Amino acid sequence: MPLSFTSRRRQDRRKRRLITVSLILLVLLSAAAYLYGSRIRVSLHMNKGRAYYQQRHFDQALLEFNRVLEMSTNQPQAIDAIGLIYLSQGDLVRAEIKYEQALKHGLKSNRRFNHVKVGNGYLARGIYAPAELEFRHVLDLTPRDPGAQLGHALSLHALGRLTEAIEAYRKSLDLNSDLKLAQEKLNQARQELERGFIYYIHDRHGTPLARYPVARRAGRRYYSLAQYAAHLIGYVSEQHGSAGLERALATYLPGNQVTLTLDARWQRLADQAMGWRKGALVALDPKTGEILALINHPSFNPNRIDQDWKRITGNKNQPLKNRALEGLFKPGSIFKLITSAAALETDLDLVHIFPVNCTGAVRYSGRTFWCWRRHGQIDSLQAALDTSCNLAMAEVGFALGPDRLYEYSNKFGFGAPITCSFKSEVLDLSFPVATSMAPMVNDNRYDLANRSCGLGEDIAMSPLHAAMLAAAIANQGKMMAPFFIKEIKNIRGQILGHGEPSILRTPVRPETARLIKLYMIDTVQHGIGKKAAIPGITVAGKTGTTGDSRHGLNGWFICFAPAENPRVALAVYAEKEGTGMDIAAPIARRFIESVLK
């Protein structure tokens, strides 16, 4: 039966409504699919960016987060992540701007990026400005997080902002009264605020060597040893930059606690022993390699670096020069210990060398080779060292040959960079030390004679290396790596790095070292080193002299004492001050006597 007109109209309306509803649903589904797909794409780019960030591929991470912002202009987590990248690159200003933008656009605490973990990472590495920003950002998100409050307090404390640190410690204790570290550090911060400054470098016994003023007291860093340790500790100046340890640890100072191997008392005694003489003195523990004292003359007062700058830099004697570590000087007769050691190590037939008749001068390869005096008959290697006879030692060098001399100079560390030992997984520390030089000599007898006696234009060593030479003989032939940083601790008291004894090389056998030690003892008791003799203390030593009377004589003395059980190995270099036996040996005697008696 045909539909009526009214029924057809009703049916058409139902169809139109169905089509309309279907179109609306299609639009809604399309929109939902687009939005859902967009969220998926945002999430994918965020996850890729996070993975790149964790791998420290910051450029790729930044590209991914910027793609998120192209899809969602004010996506707060992407803005926050870009801030983290800037922080990792050391740009704290841009990082802070991004963090503020992320908060403005509704950033909430989330699991994608753990700012507490990042902040704690910086604390653990002893880097406090980025740590402070991270914890401040966390507190903007979660103000009642006691761990973040404590982290913020520790960061402020390390940065010297004690008033703010004290308030932050109090807040952390209000949130969690069981935070023992917060209470301990609160007490410390109060004491430091009352005192007006914070100590950050100490000697081996805990004696403060450097401090900086807290915020309420204006002023510069202060060094209690002044000129006595200026070249090693260094200085910081807005006008003239930095030097020494202050430069080497610029990222970590102040804020962390540094303990050196130096003995403050020994530093002053070393300065007194040097008197007004120009040069350097280095004292080591021969068994560990610890630098116990290190003096350079002339020196300067780092507390007056700005006021005295013109006078210091205008001084022709170069007060800023670190002669002990960076200076290279002709070793002269102290090198004869290496020549002697080579002869003993290679079982050289000394019977066919000695006796040697020293006439004071001889012609080699058409040139005159001089001894410092006419010694007459030299009967043995020990007598050659006792008298420091150049002609006798030249004969030993001829018997060895250039290859053996080169081999043993290398065994004792010539030509090899010296690195002050320091172990750390988080600190990057380098400190300049000059590399001693003793390249292969020519085949002619004149050059070989010079090398045998530590002479010639191409041979040079640092006072530190000279002290290491003495220490190797004292330590049964084992040369220890030198170090002057005992440990570095962060604001939490955790060790960031430390120096520890390590064998650098073993140039000679113990029996060779024992024989050389006996020769050195005899040199002080009966030979050229008599002016280093100390009643009641057995000193083993060797003199050296370079230069000439016209341009100035440079005196060396290297030694160790007590010879039976060495506590200190020493190198003294007196630049244009006189001979080793007249100037350097008495300096060594005064120092050893003062520190061991």
d(CA 545, CA 584): 9
Q: What is the mean pLDDT of residues 414-442?
A: 88
Instruction: Say yes or no: 322 and 191 in one domain.
Output: no
Is-contact 177 158, C-beta < 8 A?
Answer: no
- pLDDT-derived band of residue 25, with 50, 70 and 90 as boundaries? low
Q: Which of 40-49, 52-61, 357-366, 414-423 has the lowest mean pLDDT?
A: 40-49
- For residue 422, pLDDT over 70 is answered with yes
Dihedral sign, CA of 413, 417, 422, 426?
negative
Check which CATH number belongs to the domain holding 177 and give it.
1.25.40.10
20 or 420, greater pLDDT: 420
The pLDDT assigned to 215 comes to 65
Q: At what angle do helices 463-474 and 510-526 cross, to 10 degrees?
A: 110
d(CA 470, CA 467): 5
pLDDT in tens, 497-524: 999 999 999 999 999 999 999 999 999 9
Strands annotated E in 323-386? 356-358, 361-364, 367-370, 376-378
pLDDT in tens, 351-410: 999 999 999 999 999 999 999 999 999 999 999 999 999 999 999 999 999 999 999 999
Instruction: Say yes or no: 189 and 325 in one domain.
Output: no
- pLDDT-derived band of residue 35, with 50, 70 and 90 as boundaries? very low
d(CA 343, CA 394): 12
How far from 140 is each of 145, 215, 558, CA to CA, in Å?
A: 10, 24, 62
Instruction: Say yes or no: 321 and 468 in one domain.
Output: yes
d(CA 544, CA 372): 11
pLDDT in tens, 207-259: 999 999 986 555 789 999 999 999 999 999 999 999 999 999 999 999 999 99
Domain count, the chain: 2
- Note the Cα 131 to chain centre separation in Å: 23
Is-contact 342 408, C-beta < 8 A?
Answer: yes
Is-contact 430 394, C-beta < 8 A?
Answer: no
Q: What is the mean pLDDT of residues 289-302?
A: 98
Domain stops at, among 195, 229, 256: 195
- For residue 27, pLDDT over 60 is answered with no
Q: Which 8-state DSSP code applies to residue 103?
A: H
Q: Quick check: is 533 in a domain?
A: yes
Domain stops at, among 150, 174, 195: 195
Q: Parallel, antiparallel, or unpaired for β 485-489 and 235-237?
A: unpaired
Q: Quick check: is 304 in a domain?
A: no
Check which CATH number belongs to the domain holding 339 and give it.
3.40.710.10
The two three-digit tokens of residue 153, written as one number: 């307090």
The pTM score is: 0.90
Is-contact 436 135, C-beta < 8 A?
Answer: no
Q: 395: domain range?
A: 317-420+432-480+504-596
Secondary structure class of 463 (helix, strand, coil): helix
Is-contact 200 249, C-beta < 8 A?
Answer: no
